[in-house]
Amino acid sequence: MPSQTPILWSFRRCPYAMRARLAIASAGIPIEHREILLRDKPTAFLAASPKGTVPVVIAGDLVIEESFDVMLWALNQNDPDNWLDVPPEAYDLIDETVGPFKTALDRYKYASRIENSDPKVDRANGSAFLLKLDRMLSSQSCLGGVDYRLTDMAILPFVRQFAHVDLDWFNAQPWPDLSRWLADFKASDRFRKIMVKHPLWTPRPDT
């Protein structure tokens, strides 16, 4: 009889997959983790989700193909850390992260692939959003207040990706509260646990 454990297709370094794993871990939902390479996507993965991006959760007949939907799916089942206790404007900030900020981040990180791009301009565009976060964090330890909430966990993986494009440059910038917030997250057991390396998934001989 097939296992009813939900399947998570993931790629370790993808920020979208990171935030999905963070929510699943917080909710304590057992999953079958299937690690893949985005440059060599398994046939079974593409059959489950033809759009070919991670994360993807398969839970019975349910297929969840967007990372934020995965977060809500997990937390609506179990939310022991009260991540969903956020004001309505938190969702606007999350949308801004995966909208204008992610556009600037991708253009900055992958400038060599984009014709007529100027990574310094794109870095500056992304930095404007980070300065906004720094101001928010100047009066509270997390975007969610005293403790991490959905806002923090949906945004932190993208800030981490931006920082690691040029970590020396990032660390030299005047955003001490943002840097402290990111450093605390990267040093946390929560982050360490979701970044454990998994072997690449391979199909069983009988599948």
Distance of alpha carbon 206 from its chain centroid, rounded? 33
99 and 122 fall within a common domain = yes
Sequence-ordered list of residues with C-beta below 8 angstroms from that of 135, at least 6 positions apart, any chain? none
State the pLDDT at residue 2.
45
- Beta-sheet strand order (sheet of 62-64): 32-35, 7-10, 56-59, 62-64
Q: Are residue 73 and residue 95 in the same domain, yes or no?
A: no
Q: How far apart are CA 68 and CA 4, in angstroms?
A: 22
Total number of domains in the chain:
2
**Measured CA distances, 206 to 175, 179, 202, 203 (Å):** 54, 49, 11, 8
Give the per-residue pLDDT at 8.
Answer: 98
Q: Which of 34, 52, 80 is the last residue of a domain?
A: 80
Residue 196 lies inside a defined structural domain of this protein: no
Longest dimension (CA), the chain: 57
For the chain, how many helices (H) and strands (E)?
10, 4
Q: Is the residue at 150 inside a domain?
A: yes
Residue 29 domain flag: yes
Q: What pLDDT, on the 0 to 100 scale, is given for residue 199?
A: 97
Specify the pLDDT at position 117: 86
- Provide block-wise average pLDDT over 10 residues at a time, the chain (207 residues): 80 98 98 96 96 97 97 98 96 98 97 91 98 97 95 98 98 98 98 98 76
Q: Which of 180, 86, 91 is nearest to 130 (CA)?
A: 180
Query: Which DSSP symbol is given to 99?
Result: I
Q: Note whether 102 and 155 are same-domain residues.
A: yes
- Is 11 among the domain residues? yes
Give the pLDDT score at 206: 57
Q: Residue 97 gets which letter from DSSP?
A: I
59 within a domain of the structure (yes/no): yes
Q: Do 67 and 94 belong together in one domain?
A: no
106 and 177 part of one domain:
yes
Whether 200 maps to a domain, the answer reads no
Q: How many whole angstroms from its chain centre is CA 179?
A: 18
Domain interval for residue 123: 89-190
Cβ–Cβ contacts within 10 Å for residue 129, how many?
Answer: 22
- Would you give the distance in Å from CA 190 to the centre of its chain? 13
Q: What is the pLDDT of residue 1?
A: 33
For residue 197, being part of any structural domain is answered with no
Question: Where do the H-state alpha helices sit in 52-165?
Answer: 67-77, 89-96, 102-109, 119-137, 150-163
